[in-house]
A and B are shown apart, each in its own frame.
Chain A
Amino acid sequence: AQSVTQLDSQVPVFEEAPVELRCNYSSSVSVYLFWYVQYPNQGLQLLLKYLSGSTLVKGINGFEAEFNKSQTSFHLRKPSVHISDTAEYFCAVRDTGGFKTIFGAGTRLFVKA
């Protein structure tokens, strides 16, 4: 069975500082990996995804993530955050041959002025 662990429930950071949100997954088969973002009182939208190919994936709003198969990780990074990046971020995994996407518990990013 798949599972996703987001290692930080909350991450406070000052504006213009770099940030890394950590995600580890477990699966016995090949996977697709995703990061979704949820702004306050909104639904979720896709930030970026890894399906195959280059392990460094770039997404919207300046975010990027790196797939590390040996460490079963998919950490999300941004070199300089803005106040508007304050949101909850979810890491998710799906088997390449499956239908179900499993989510982590989420990481709340607080960007302070």
Chain B
Amino acid sequence: DAGITQSPRHKVTETGTPVTLRCHQTENHRYMYWYRQDPGHGLRLIHYSYGVKDTDKGEVSDGYSVSRSKTEDFLLTLESATSSQTSVYFCAISEIDTGELFFGEGSRLTVL
């Protein structure tokens, strides 16, 4: 299994509070991604990174920010959580020449 760790795995929070999800990899892969999974929508790309301090927006980036200060860590921040951000969040890593994504186990976030 690819060495990808997401934390926390489960979190319940209240509307308006900040939340940070962490993705840590031990594979030294250049590319890292954050997706959210919702019933009927599959996986939607939130943000991705193609190197340290190099990030870009995905399909559903509103309300989310990311940071990547080290190759191994990619943080997803919800500045002020809303109920619509209740979801399962997946981190993925990739080396671009293979195209394959390796996924973490997911972080389930509930915003009350």
Q: A99–B31 contact, CB under 8 A?
A: yes
**Contacts between the two chains (Cβ within 8 Å), count:** 52
- Complex: how many Å from CA A105 to CA B33? 18
Secondary structure class of chain B's binding surface, majority of residues = strand
Q: B104–A99 contact, CB under 8 A?
A: no
Shortest beta-carbon distance from B31 to chain A in Å: 6
How many chain B residues sit at the interface, stated as a range, is 20 to 34
Shortest beta-carbon distance from A43 to chain B in Å: 4
Q: In B43-60, which residues have CB < 8 Å from any A CB?
A: 43-45, 48, 50, 56, 58-59
Of the listed residues B35, B45, B101, B104, the one surrounded by the most CB atoms of chain A closer than 10 A to its CB is: B101
User: Interface digits, A48-63 against B, CB 8 Å rule (1 contact, 0 not)?
Assistant: 0101000000000000
> Which residues of B are in contact with A by a Cβ distance under 8 Å?
31, 33, 35, 40-45, 48, 50, 56, 58-59, 90, 94, 96, 99-101, 103-106
